[in-house]
């Protein structure tokens, strides 16, 4: 039972991370209106997969999502299905955009083409809303599929806990 639960968690995190990394790999390049190339997708996918897998392995997303749902009064399964991805997407996007920004441009101030100084926080916050919306929709559709596929692969069910 315990091994099956651990296997379920690992498979769930891998499936979720692969799908979210693919979405973020496509979305990261499009923030600045850039075209998506194999290099930009591979970079976004690689960084996104590692960060998503580490975050989803360390952070108790299920417990946080359930607590967030209770705090907002979302008691039905349908309401929880729409509310929990709010907090999950927020956690992922805050960490992902921080890492993407740090890797691509560093932490220092940069000079823009107009001669103004662009700080790290300016660059960090510039695409946050756009990426958060994409991440919310991705989490909304990815989590049910990932749960279903992980249960099919591992044979784990909620009665095994």
pLDDT in tens, 110-119: 777 777 888 8
* For helices 77-105 and 38-58, angle between their N-to-C axes, nearest 10 degrees: 120
Classify each residue of 94-104 as buried b or exposed e, where b means 16 or more C-beta atoms within 10 Å of its C-beta: eebbeebbeee
Res. 63 pLDDT band, cuts 50 70 90: confident
Domain with 100, as residue range(s), is 2-160
The answer to whether residues 26 and 6 touch, using CB atoms and an 8 Å cutoff, is: no
The answer to whether residues 61 and 95 touch, using CB atoms and an 8 Å cutoff, is: no
The percentage of the chain sitting over the pLDDT mark of 90, rounded to a whole number, equals: 4
Report the pLDDT value the prediction gives residue 62, as an integer from 0 to 100: 81
Quote the CA–CA distance of 50 and 35 in Å, as a whole number. 23
Quote the CA–CA distance of 151 and 42 in Å, as a whole number. 28
Res. 18 pLDDT band, cuts 50 70 90: very high
DSSP3 helix / strand / coil % (the chain, rounded to 5): 80, 0, 20
pTM, full prediction: 0.78
- CA–CA distances in Å: residue 27 to residues 21, 125, 147: 10, 15, 24
How many domains is the chain built from? 1
């Amino acid at each position: 039972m315990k091994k099956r639960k651990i296997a379920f968690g690992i498979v769930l995190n891998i499936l979720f991370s692969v799908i979210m990394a693919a979405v973020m790999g496509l979305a990261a390049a499009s923030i600045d209106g850039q075209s998506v190339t194999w290099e930009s997708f591979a970079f976004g996918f690689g960084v996104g997969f590692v960060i998503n897998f580490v975050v989803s392995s360390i952070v108790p997303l299920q417990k946080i999502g359930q607590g967030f749902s209770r705090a907002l009064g979302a008691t039905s399964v349908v309401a929880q299905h729409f509310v929990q991805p709010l907090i999950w997407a927020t956690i992922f996007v805050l960490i992902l955009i921080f890492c993407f920004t740090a890797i691509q441009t560093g932490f220092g101030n940069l000079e823009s083409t107009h001669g103004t100084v662009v700080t790290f926080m300016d660059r960090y916050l510039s695409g946050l809303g756009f990426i958060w919306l994409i991440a919310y929709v991705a989490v909304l559709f990815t989590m049910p599929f990932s749960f279903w596929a992980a249960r099919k692969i591992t044979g784990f069910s909620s009665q095994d806990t």
